[in-house]
Structure 1
Amino acid sequence: MQGKGGPVLTTKEAAALLGVSPRRVNNLIEVGALKAQKFGRAWMVDEASVRERVQAKPQRGRPRADAGVETARYTLMCHDHEVLAFTYHGRTGSVAAVEPLDGIAWKPFGVGRRDREPNRYDMAEWLRDRAIPGLRPHLPSALRDLAVRTPAVLMFQSWGLSLSDPYWFRPEGVEVSWAAVNYYDNGYDEDFGDLMLTGLSPRNAGEPAFADGRPASGAKGAPAITRSPDTATNGMLSKTWVRRRGTDYLIKGGTGNENREPYNEKLATRLLERLLDPNEFVPYTVTERHGRAYSSCANMAGPDTELIPAQDVLTAFGITEGRDLHTGYLRALEELGVEDGRRLIDKMIVADYLMANFDRHTHNFGLLRSVEGLDGYRIAPLFDHGCGFYSRATTAELEARPYVWESHPFREYPSQQLALVEDLGWYDPSALDGFLDDIAEVLGENPEIDERFIAAVQKQTERQIQTVNDLAAERGVVVAGW
């Protein structure tokens, strides 16, 4: 059977290849040692990850958790503010004994509702979202190489440090400051990122060092840690952070042999350059590493600016599934004092419609804010467009009829989500003149895509442009030339 990432097996078939029980296969899926995807209620296991495990011949028994994070007490920090203390159980992934501290005002947006103190369930959910997801490519081999059990263990070995926000976990009894450990000032190891991006083994899997050569265990009383921001970077596609000439870039891969996503990111940049202001989107380029194309973009966050995913905003305001996320999110933006929030969300909806983006989930857009002042809320530049431009469609599907994708985050059907747009006064139809040529140019750079597919994408996109132009004309925008 064929899954999204390649051939898949039933748990029974995987068990036969591995020489274990189907129940054992389910356990390996749960801890991230095997890649799998849900089909209804059943798990279908990635065949490549099964055969990789067979070749690796792992030791019998349950995947072990690293002893250093089995059960430990930490302080959640924001810069040097002590936010809350908590106990983490590495084997179960559970949290206990959450204790708000003097810096509770600096708690992450996504740790519970903003109108009450966080509890252990709030903290556990936030930690799960922060770690590498279990289906990330190359994760099983990384866990084996580093002799750890779960992605959460990797994150705790890096003390939860990230390049998207200033939060980190200080182990109990450790005397260390933000200045001594943050990645912005001290750099980070890129070997683990190479492993997660390409599957290549890191050069130094033992004890990565600071940029200046100091060992990671240099803080008083601190155990050795893995210094990689990749351990606290979520998302399903292979990716890694690199630093070049003082700027941090996120390098991200695609899926399958056609590897469409990096080129889609570049094409989306061409589209957004035509429609939006430069500060309203993150530009992407295509780069090559180890003979394969990847997308690259500069970090929008920094030591004093954090990225807040929309999901964390929804959590903080108690806006849950089943409610009108669009109305609720706009009210939250208004309460936070975000300028031009409705207009910028309208722009996101239109852009996603034009590029047929089916992956604008609530972790793929959000806000920026000042860390120390806890203010200056503003819409984050649009990012992550790799699942646009029919990245999962076949040529035959695009040629057969107008292609309908599942839209996100506010409505399931693209036409319904587009109908939410209130303001099209910013939309200039003439800005899209020649964009169909951009499609041919950028997608034509991908050696795995043929001309028929490109022509089908052009035809579908032309329909989307016409639909938006028709809506703009209804709203009084002058549309000429189409």
Structure 2
Amino acid sequence: MNRQAKEYYLMHKDIPVCLMEISDDGVLGSVRRNEAAAAHFPPGGQMNHMKFHEWWKDRAIPKTRHGAKSALQKLGYSSTNSALVNNLALSLSDCYWIKPRGEDLTWRDTNLFTNDFVDTFGEITMNSDHMIDLRKETRFNCATSQGELQKKWCIDKDGRRYMIKGNYGQSYQQSLNEIFATRLHVQQGFLNYTPYSLVQVQVDGNIEGLGCMSYDFCSENIECISAWELLQTVKIKQNESFYYPLKKVCLGLGIDEQEFTDFMDYQIMTDYLMTNTDRHMNNIAVMRNPDTLQILGFAPIYDSGNSMFYNIPYEKLSQVRIDDIKTHSFIEREVKLLQYVCDRSMVDVDKAEMDFEIYEKDVVERHIRIPKLRDLYERKRENLRAFQNGKDIWKNRKYNIADKGV
């Protein structure tokens, strides 16, 4: 064994699923699986050793998260991987963690769902106003949370876990987009979504700004498995769309085909309306009972902030071609995602008429964008209405570049 490496059990609650060698800087070495607990091994790492190494690396906070470098320096970590190990790879999304070999720790001692904690990493990368009391700090800080935006986990006075998110740049539009999405789901009468609320945060320069917050939909009894992790359990052909492999995996896990298509139909069409260009496979998940391993259905729709042309400068909004938008999803052309929709009536276009006053909460110089955002949204709504009336709107133009996965 590497002299600097230590041995840890990867635990699923109190079930050891493998024994791992991990170096002081968080690099994974040899892995010995506990075949008696094979069913509890992380789905994303089951196919082979390389997949498991990728699952482990993906568990760490992304190096690209805003403020990550300075936070690591202040906390004395050499990397996000070393922070992951120091905090026992605990998460508020699932029930996996690591136990140093020889230490007498249990899930009850360490888990973030029932033990008090302060998200120290999040505290440094995002200075929230403490609008809700935080609990005392323990050694078990949250060191695993996907995504590049500033994020911070907190506990409210009733013990409920919630996440605060920030924004890129000087605008608050990503947070406002989450509120916009929440209102759209409410108007549709759709229930399986994550509600977001606005919160006040300190932004660069100690200026009071806006972020958003949402409560954790996971618990000791419900954990999430991302679509990306599920896709690691099957072989996918080069340039193949992720849609059908994901459907095959989900149906194999016991999700009803109608449930799958209804959820995807609704999500694809509402993402189209909002021009959400970031429905990648880590922004779709299924829920599982960690004890029985029963699949409980899709996780509530979450992370819709990268939408409504948030990153397009005002002067370029008039040049947007709404039939030629690229997205990170099953395939890269947004309009062609509509080809997967089975029931075109899953979204009520009449109930998708939206009030844009929420964007008046953005910084003043961004207010000139509001009429253009409204116009682009209404054009998308009319496109969706035409689609629901039977028109295959992706056939409106010829594509010079072949779309992958169609």
Cα offset for 1:320? Answer: 6.0
Cα offset for 1:196? Answer: 2.2
Gap regions ≥5 residues in structure 2 = 203-207, 392-406
Quote the residue 1:346 is aligned against.
265
Q: Which amino acid aligns with 1:271?
A: L
Given that 2:95 and 2:223 are in contact with CA atoms closer than 8 Å, whether structure 1 keeps it comes out as: yes
Q: Deviations over 1:286-343 (max 9, x none)?
A: 1002312111001011111101110011012333652231111111121111131111
Given that 1:370 and 1:377 are in contact with CA atoms closer than 8 Å, whether structure 2 keeps it comes out as: yes
Given that 2:59 and 2:145 are in contact with CA atoms closer than 8 Å, whether structure 1 keeps it comes out as: yes
Given that 2:270 and 2:347 are in contact with CA atoms closer than 8 Å, whether structure 1 keeps it comes out as: no
Quote the residue 1:19 is aligned against.
none
TM-score (norm 1): 0.74
In the alignment, structure 1 residue 409 sits paired with structure 2 residue 332: no
Q: Using CA pairs below 8 Å that are at least 6 residues apart, which structure has the higher relative contact order?
A: 2
Quote the residue 1:132 is aligned against.
61
Check 1:80–1:412 CA distance in 2 against 1; reply closer, same or farther (3 A cut).
same
Quote the residue 1:428 is aligned against.
348
Instruction: Give distance in 2, aligned partners of 1:98 and 1:189.
Output: 33
Cα offset for 1:426? Answer: 2.5
Q: Which amino acid aligns with 2:379?
A: R
The structure with more radius of gyration:
1
Q: How does 1:142-181 map to 2 (within 5 A)?
A: 142-181=71-110
Given that 1:83 and 1:103 are in contact with CA atoms closer than 8 Å, whether structure 2 keeps it comes out as: yes
Instruction: Give distance in 1, aligned partners of 2:339 and 2:364.
Output: 36
Q: How does 1:161-240 map to 2 (within 5 A)?
A: 161-198=90-127, 226-229=139-142, 231-240=143-152
Given that 2:26 and 2:82 are in contact with CA atoms closer than 8 Å, whether structure 1 keeps it comes out as: no
Instruction: Give the 3-state SS of the residue equivalent to 2:30 in structure 1.
Output: strand
Q: Deviations over 1:122-143 (max 9, x none)?
A: 2221111110111111111111
Given that 1:82 and 1:102 are in contact with CA atoms closer than 8 Å, whether structure 2 keeps it comes out as: no
* Aligned-pair Cα RMSD in Å: 2.2
Given that 2:326 and 2:334 are in contact with CA atoms closer than 8 Å, whether structure 1 keeps it comes out as: yes
Cα offset for 1:211? Answer: 5.6
Given that 2:286 and 2:295 are in contact with CA atoms closer than 8 Å, whether structure 1 keeps it comes out as: no
Quote the residue 2:11 is aligned against.
77
Quote the residue 1:457 is aligned against.
373
Quote the residue 2:339 is aligned against.
419
TM-score (norm 2): 0.87
Cα offset for 1:450? Answer: 3.2
Given that 1:136 and 1:238 are in contact with CA atoms closer than 8 Å, whether structure 2 keeps it comes out as: yes
Given that 1:194 and 1:240 are in contact with CA atoms closer than 8 Å, whether structure 2 keeps it comes out as: yes
Given that 1:70 and 1:91 are in contact with CA atoms closer than 8 Å, whether structure 2 keeps it comes out as: no
Gap regions ≥5 residues in structure 1 = 1-68, 201-209, 217-225, 476-482
Instruction: Give distance in 2, aligned partners of 1:304 and 1:443.
Output: 37
Q: Deviations over 1:89-128 (max 9, x none)?
A: 2447232133335322111121132xxxx42x22221111
Instruction: Give distance in 1, aligned partners of 2:330 and 2:176.
Output: 26
Task: Tell me how many residue pairs correspond in the alignment.
Answer: 377
Percent of matched pairs sharing the same residue: 24
Instruction: Give the 3-state SS of the residue equivalent to 2:52 in structure 1.
Output: helix
Cα offset for 1:268? Answer: 1.2
Instruction: Give distance in 2, aligned partners of 1:174 and 1:469.
Output: 60
Q: How does 1:301-450 map to 2 (within 5 A)?
A: 301-319=218-236, 322-339=239-256, 340-403=259-322, 404-433=324-353, 435=354, 438-439=355-356, 441-450=357-366
Q: Which amino acid aligns with 1:454?
A: I
Instruction: Give distance in 2, aligned partners of 1:70 and 1:287.
Output: 43
Instruction: Give distance in 2, aligned partners of 1:448 and 1:384.
Output: 25
Cα offset for 1:448? Answer: 4.0
Cα offset for 1:400? Answer: 2.9
Given that 2:51 and 2:232 are in contact with CA atoms closer than 8 Å, whether structure 1 keeps it comes out as: no
Instruction: Give distance in 1, aligned partners of 2:320 and 2:345.
Output: 31
Q: Which amino acid aligns with 1:395?
A: Y
Quote the residue 2:23 is aligned against.
89
